[in-house]
Each structure stands twice: as C-alpha cells, then as structure tokens.
Amino acid sequence: MLNRNARPEKDDSEEISRLRQQLNVIQNSQQELYRHLMNSGPLIAGSYYQVYKTCTRTNCCCQRGKKHGPFPALSFSHDGKRGMIMIRSKDAPVVAVKSAAYRRFVEDVRELRQLNTRVLSIVDQLGQLLREEYI
C-alpha cells in the first residue's frame, strides 16, 4: 500500500525545484564542453616555451651571462618523467597552437569531471527527497 500522506512537503518541493534547476544549468555547461571537446583539432601534448642556452666555448659571451636563444622547445611528461624536445623554428607556430589546444582540451576534461561529480551529488540529493515509503 502506498502511503498517500507521504507527499513532499512544501520545503521539499522548493528544494526539488532548486535541484532540478541546478541540473539544468549544469547540463547546459556540459553541452558546451562536449562541443569544445568534439570540435578539437590536432593536439600536441606538452607545453611550448622558449629556452636560452649556454655553449661549451670558454670565451663565448654566454659564459658571462648573455645566453644564446631563444630557441623553441616543448616540455612533456612520459611515463611520469619530464622531458624536453627542441623544435625546429619553422614548426614553432604550429606546435605552439597545437600545444595550447592540448592545454584547453585537458582543462575542459577536468571541468567536465567536476561537473559530473556535481551531477551525481545533486541526483543523490534529489533521490532522497523524492523517495516515498510503501506501507
């Protein structure tokens, strides 16, 4: 027998409405993230930056502080170890764009994970409020 007197109270109805609104807002944010992720172009894992180097010549000005460069480079992580690779100057603009796209992709995935965690929390709360006793 369904307990017909176990209807949500007014306070519960307002809370249920608030939770549903939150889910709707999160769903819109998720859809935007999905669009970004699905429309991502080629990615290069790593961070593009410029490095300055010293050479081995003892009389070179780089030994007294003015280093050679800047030279384009890409830092990356592989199997938990950090690495760096030098980039050809002609490839630098493309690598810079693709590594920036990779950072945006990783950030979008991180944000999506946070939203999914929040959704599960809200759904749990909603389930608690909607649950009825069968007597």
Average pLDDT over residues 103-114: 96
- Under the banding of pLDDT at 50, 70 and 90, the label for residue 124 is very high
Q: How far is residue 14's CA from residue 8's CA, in Å, rounded to a whole number? A: 10
Q: What is the pTM of this model?
A: 0.76
Q: pLDDT digit string (tens) for 37-75? A: 999 999 999 999 999 998 888 888 888 888 998 999 999
pLDDT at 44: 95
Residue 8 pLDDT:
52
- DSSP-assigned states of every residue in 70-99: EEEEEEEEETTEEEEEE--GGGHHHHHHHH
Structure token pair of residue 36: 């970004």
